[in-house]
Amino acid sequence: MTLNFLGKSPSRFLFFTGKGGVGKTSIACAASLHIADAGKTVLLVSTDPASNLDEMLGVKLSNQPVAVPDVPRLSVLNIDPTAASEAYRGRVLAQLEQGTDEKTRQTVREQLSGACTTEIAAFDEFTGLLAGEASGFDHVVFDTAPTGHTLRLLSLPKAWTGFLAGNDRGASCLGPHSGLKMQEERFRQAMETLANDKLTTIVLVTRPERGALREADRTSIELRAMGLSNQRLVINGVFRANAANDAVAVSVEQEGQSALSEMPTALRSLSRDEIALRPYDMVGLDALRSLLSLQQPPKPEGALQPSPAAVTTNRDPELSELIDRLAQNGRGLIMVMGKGGVGKTTIASAIAIGLVQRGHSVHLSTTDPAAHLAMTVDGELPGLLVDRIDPKAETARYVAKAMEAGGRRLDEAGKALLREDLESPCTEEVAVFHAFSRIVSEARSAFVVLDTAPTGHSLLLMDATGAYHRQMVHNLPTQPAGGRLITPLMRLQDSAYTRVILVTLAETTPVSQAAALQEDLRRAGIEPFAWVINKCLVGSGTRDPLLLRRLSGELIQIARVHDGLAKAAYLLPRLAAPPIGIAALERLAA
């Protein structure tokens, strides 16, 4: 099988990016194995804070390269934001001159404790790999976070290089001048490497689905604008029905072929590979190696033949029953969370429309930089407000507010310095958090449904919420006059105020990632309200051999969710067509 995206001689740096759930990690792992098996040394790097490389490759991840068992030339590394932040703080504090008093050092530590530092520290690790720290490897393969987060990451070398040019003071949110300036040369090298077609290839991974193809098209255009033009296209999960009389199988195939026939023009110009849908989850070396070949993976242990009842009948509670439970509260925040590609936007939209059906006013919004709410809802409904947290608009609002509040007592020189600080790329993260906090507070008197970004990006937002909470408690040790202190984190921890819905597919990796997210939330004092298992073949009636083999794996994962993971689980069957538009979502929620 000849692969256009690898060719005879892959570039030194390979980036795999795309919408959540399209198979970036599977393709990146398979490509890494392919290159290592050919005799080259490979470092596979995850930039996703919610990486699942460990489960797929059977190796414990670290922020240092770890050898993959039974693959002599392959190592993996996970850019861990927490570990990266600690290392970054250490480097900045080490730059302080000897004799610096403890009060100054403590001030610097506080400056380096926020969400801005987490982002720049993870980015610092990333640029280091591009600027020479991976010199011991022939190839470096990046398995990136879902698109919105990745576009932000890949835009930062240019943003920071431009910001630091002629800026002798640095950004206050990142600590002292030395903490930033010592990175300037590394940022420049990273930008040059990304834009070098001989060194770097961007592999856009998608599925034969309209939403995924649209996002790949938008990503391609934005990356070209950044100077990253060496792009390839991989269409993963292409399905061909085995029997013409199987309505479910035929609808899945037709949906995919229709999406491919309408592929955006920009994508058509790219060199392209198509990879067939596989009958099992891509977990383990054998399955991953088979992904880029014509061979089928061995049947996994624990696989079972679905019973006729499982194929034709579904006895699990459905989405409408969940919406009935949520409506009883009369108001509150509903956060829909999960791995990319599991259908969070559809579930959030259906819940919001279902609440409107039941007589409530609802604000439906999203924290996802690659938002698809408007396309999913595709219409207007009395009682429903649909918008999104737009990073650029929120940054402009935040800067204007900061200039108005902070510039009142400053002269022109002081205002210029403040404006310079606010041009920092970190300002966007702060602005998005403030917008998130504002929307959370709206749920005091109405329903707010939040379609969150994929897991890793949401965890960073949760970290920012926790950091803000600790800062407020530290700065206000006594209760403020006129009432008690209530931070956004406290609202999220209040089960009467916030209901968290975890969405998953009945597949190994999404279920594992939802379980890990649940544990992260619990450590923050947030208890998930329910799980939704989306796009299930259970009850579909399919007789297609490949889909039946996938169904057997689904039954194992559904049992796993019921047996100890979810307090309440609701199942949504795979539909013949994606539920897009008010009418389709109303049927889903009715």
Opening angle at CA 575, ends 214 and 333, nearest 5: 75
Has residue 3 got a pLDDT over 80?
no
Q: At 173, is the pLDDT very low, low, confident or very high (cuts 50, 70, 90)?
A: very low
Identify the three-state secondary structure at position 414.
helix
Sheet containing 139-143: which strands, arranged edge to edge? 66-67, 74-78, 42-46, 139-143, 13-17, 200-206, 231-238, 271-276
The pLDDT score that the predictor gives to residue 532 is 95
The pLDDT score that the predictor gives to residue 136 is 86
pLDDT tens digits, residue range 363-417?
Answer: 999 877 666 778 888 889 999 999 988 888 888 888 888 888 777 777 777 777 7
| Average pLDDT rounded to a whole number, residues 141-161 | 58
Catalytic residue among 20, 47, 48, 80: 48
Q: Is 471 exposed, middle or buried (0-12, 13-18, 19+ CB in 10 A)?
A: middle
Q: Does 387 participate in catalysis according to the annotation? A: no
Assign domain 13-291 to a CATH class: alpha beta
Identify the three-state secondary structure at position 381.
coil
Lowest-confidence segment of 48-52, 264-268, 442-446, 567-571 by average pLDDT: 48-52
Catalytic residue among 24, 158, 339, 535: 24
Catalytic residue among 18, 23, 175, 553: 23
CATH architecture of 311-473+485-589: 3-Layer(aba) Sandwich (3.40)
| Average pLDDT rounded to a whole number, residues 216-238 | 89
Has residue 112 got a pLDDT over 80?
no
Measured CA to CA, the distance from residue 130 to residue 547 in angstroms comes to: 41
Q: Tokens 């930089």 sit at which residue?
A: 369
Q: At 152, is the pLDDT very low, low, confident or very high (cuts 50, 70, 90)?
A: low
CA nearest to 320, candidates 590, 517, 26, 69: 590
Catalytic residue among 26, 127, 144, 147: 26
Catalytic residue among 509, 512, 540, 542: 509
Catalytic residue among 11, 17, 20, 25: 25
Q: At 189, is the pLDDT very low, low, confident or very high (cuts 50, 70, 90)?
A: confident
Q: Does 201 participate in catalysis according to the annotation? A: no
Opening angle at CA 128, ends 125 and 131, nearest 5: 160
Measured CA to CA, the distance from residue 512 to residue 504 in angstroms comes to: 9
Q: At 178, is the pLDDT very low, low, confident or very high (cuts 50, 70, 90)?
A: very low
Q: Does 509 participate in catalysis according to the annotation? A: yes
CA nearest to 76, candidates 288, 277, 236, 279: 288
Q: Does 23 participate in catalysis according to the annotation? A: yes
CA nearest to 341, candidates 11, 21, 8, 75: 21
Q: Mean pLDDT, the chain, as a whole number?
A: 79
| Average pLDDT rounded to a whole number, residues 504-526 | 87
Measured CA to CA, the distance from residue 568 to residue 589 in angstroms comes to: 17
Q: Does 535 participate in catalysis according to the annotation? A: no
Identify the three-state secondary structure at position 496.
coil
The pTM of the full predicted model, rounded to 2 decimals, is 0.71
pLDDT tens digits, residue range 22-34?
Answer: 888 899 999 999 9
Has residue 486 got a pLDDT over 80?
no
Has residue 324 got a pLDDT over 90?
yes
CA nearest to 350, candidates 236, 449, 222: 449
Q: Does 143 participate in catalysis according to the annotation? A: no
Torsion sign (Cα): 19, 352, 519, 485? positive
| Average pLDDT rounded to a whole number, residues 104-128 | 64
Measured CA to CA, the distance from residue 295 to residue 282 in angstroms comes to: 14
Has residue 197 got a pLDDT over 70?
yes
CA nearest to 426, candidates 455, 400, 391, 454: 391
Q: At 143, is the pLDDT very low, low, confident or very high (cuts 50, 70, 90)?
A: confident
CA nearest to 211, candidates 219, 203, 221: 219
DSSP 95-107: HSPTT--HHHHHH
Q: In the chain, what percentage of residues exceed pLDDT 90?
A: 27
> Cα-flanking dihedrals φ and ψ of residue 482, to 5°?
90, 0
Catalytic residue among 18, 20, 21, 466: 21
How many CA atoms does the CB half-sphere of 304 hold within 13 Å? 11
DSSP character at residue 562: I
pLDDT tens digits, residue range 264-308?
Answer: 888 999 999 999 998 887 888 888 898 887 555 555 555 556 666
The contacts of residue 406 (CB under 8 Å, 6+ apart) are 418
Torsion sign (Cα): 578, 17, 431, 465? positive
User: Please, where in the chain does CATH 3.40.50.300 lie?
Assistant: 13-291, 311-473+485-589
Has residue 146 got a pLDDT over 60?
no
Lowest-confidence segment of 41-55, 342-356, 420-434 by average pLDDT: 420-434
| Contact in structure between 577 and 520 (CB atoms under 8 Å) | no
Task: Kindly report the number of other CB atoms within 10 A of residue 519's CB atom.
Answer: 9
Q: Does 48 participate in catalysis according to the annotation? A: yes
Written as six digits, the tokens of 26 are 């599977």
Torsion sign (Cα): 359, 360, 361, 363? negative
Has residue 521 got a pLDDT over 90?
no
Written as six digits, the tokens of 475 are 């700065």
Q: Which residue type occupies 402? A: A
- 245 or 84, greater pLDDT: 245
